[in-house]
């Protein structure tokens, strides 16, 4: 899944682009209807739906990391495979420990790493700086449009420090909007219109949908689906069932691990139950697997044979 593979994928609207734009439009229409009828509810059912959707459509793209690492020659032998898995798990545990020791710093690092990683969705069309800027802007823009929800979410994840960070992002909201639109125009002038259309869609959804819905549509319909498509295209067709089995197996292990860690994760930074505890499990769990996942993907981008 290197830059050359990305180039060919960017020549026209790919499957995930259409899915993202279509699903995003449908969710916006549905949410608008729900708001107009006054029946909007962002309680436990929404958090549960988020958790299930992330497990079914989000986690599988990271579950292919062992195969991505093997193809990038990060490991070669059974011993190397064991070492890779141990290092991966160690990084996951390190992130969880960091969240207990310094939740605000952990949240800042998580957002920064996520911004870099999400920006890589537009690697073929943009240089690293505008990609990173787009990643930061898309994560920060919802704080301007939905300040109360971001304040509550960040407070739940990192206490008073998280709320202070939410206020900073809210104040920077207009700059994030300008940044996203500028990067979209920059992408439009660099060739295929895929990136510009997606960045435009990201901007619209960040403004029109509450943060959880926005994250759900982007993460599952665009980011994860793109990664899965690019990895699958690099595998001979006769080996794809094996790849699917790997994705399902590692996803199941991740879900089991999250369930076992629930009592601990739900207590970061203070004990919580119900939908708030589940939301912590989802996002702190995602933060924990994001760091090793990003390291594997970035290594693969530069070391995978053509």
Contacts of residue 71, defined as CB under 8 A and 6 or more positions apart, other chains included, come to 234, 300, 304, 305
| Prior bond of 72 cis (ω within 30°) | no
User: Cα–Cα distance between 284 and 278 in angstroms, integer?
Assistant: 10
196 token code pair: 């510009």
Q: Which whole number is the average pLDDT over 164-183?
A: 96
Q: Identify the residue whose tokens are 């994840």.
A: 157
What's the rounded Cα separation, in Å, for the pair 188 and 149? 32
**83-116 pLDDT, tens digit each:** 999 999 999 999 999 998 999 999 999 999 999 9
How distant is the alpha carbon of residue 163 from its chain centre? 21
**Tell me: the pLDDT tens digits for 6-15?**
444 444 778 9
What predicted TM-score, i.e. pTM, was given to this entire model? 0.89
What percent of the chain has pLDDT above 90?
Answer: 64
Q: Is the pLDDT of residue 261 over 90?
A: no
Nearest to 279 by CA among 266, 260, 290, 263: 266
> How much of the chain is helix, strand and coil, in % rounded to 5?
85, 0, 15
């Amino acid at each position: 899944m290197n830059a050359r593979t990305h180039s060919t994928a960017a020549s026209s609207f790919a499957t995930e682009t259409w899915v993202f734009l279509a699903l995003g439009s449908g969710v916006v229409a549905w949410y608008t209807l729900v708001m107009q009828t006054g029946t909007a509810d962002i309680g436990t059912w929404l958090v549960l739906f988020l958790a299930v959707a992330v497990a079914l459509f989000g986690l599988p793209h990271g579950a292919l990391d062992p195969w991505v690492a093997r193809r990038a020659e990060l490991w070669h032998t059974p011993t190397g495979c064991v070492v890779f898995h141990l290092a991966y798990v160690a990084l996951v545990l390190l992130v969880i420990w960091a969240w207990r020791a310094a939740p605000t710093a952990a949240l800042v690092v998580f957002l920064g790493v996520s911004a870099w990683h999400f920006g890589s969705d537009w690697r073929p069309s943009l240089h690293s700086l505008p990609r990173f800027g787009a990643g930061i802007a898309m994560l920060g823009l919802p704080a301007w449009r939905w300040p109360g929800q971001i304040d509550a979410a960040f407070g739940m994840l990192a206490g008073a420090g998280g709320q202070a960070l939410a206020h900073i992002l809210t104040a920077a909201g207009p700059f994030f909007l300008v940044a996203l639109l500028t990067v979209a125009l920059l992408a439009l002038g660099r060739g295929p219109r895929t990136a510009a259309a997606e960045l435009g869609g990201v901007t619209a959804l960040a403004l029109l949908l509450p943060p959880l819905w926005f994250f759900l549509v982007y993460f599952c319909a665009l980011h994860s689906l793109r990664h899965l498509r690019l990895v699958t295209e690099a595998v001979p067709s006769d080996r794809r069932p094996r790849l699917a089995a790997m994705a399902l197996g590692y996803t199941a292990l991740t879900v089991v691990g999250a369930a076992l860690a629930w009592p601990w994760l739900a207590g970061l930074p203070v004990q919580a139950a119900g939908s708030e505890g589940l939301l912590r499990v989802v996002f702190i769990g995602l933060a924990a697997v994001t760091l090793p996942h990003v390291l594997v993907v970035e290594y693969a981008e530069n070391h995978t044979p053509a």
